[in-house]
Amino acid sequence: MPNQNKVQNPETNIPKTPAMNERDFTNDILSTEKYMTDSYCTYLNEASNQQIYDDMISIFKETQDCQRNIYNLMFKKGWYGLEAADPQKIQQAYQQFQGYTDQFPYNNQMLQ
């Protein structure tokens, strides 16, 4: 019986072998793109030279777009699934963290 909480397209038929297949290679590329965007974020947070920052933000955007396209491809082929959120758990988390708003600076002005 399929998992009712799984959000996923039907998986394309890929033979199960020890050799890397299209899904494995694509997953490896996605992992690399995620690592690269994470590293670029760290650099961008610490950059002191504006010209290099501007160049890197452009490279970051290209890399992020590539990562998104790979994710969309994997989701379309059924190689990337997500768990559907339980509405009750969402409400519980919202209520839990709603009480933290008094800890925000500027007297909650940013939330209004």
Is residue 9 situated within a structural domain?
Answer: no
Backbone angles phi, psi at 17, to 5 degrees: -135, 165
Looking at residue 108, its pLDDT comes to: 54
Note down the domain range covering 27: 19-111
pLDDT digits (tens, 9 = 90+) for 97-108: 887 777 777 655
| Residue 84 belongs to some domain of the structure | yes
- Bridging pattern class, strands 6-7 and 82-83: antiparallel
Residue range 31-50: average pLDDT? 95
Q: How many domains does the chain have?
A: 1
Task: State the chain's maximal CA–CA distance in angstroms.
Answer: 58
Report the pLDDT value the prediction gives residue 1, as an integer from 0 to 100. 46
Q: Give domain status of residue 34, yes or no.
A: yes
Least confident of 19-33, 42-56, 88-102: 88-102
| Most confidently modeled range among 19-23, 71-75, 100-104 | 71-75
pLDDT above 60 (res 67): yes
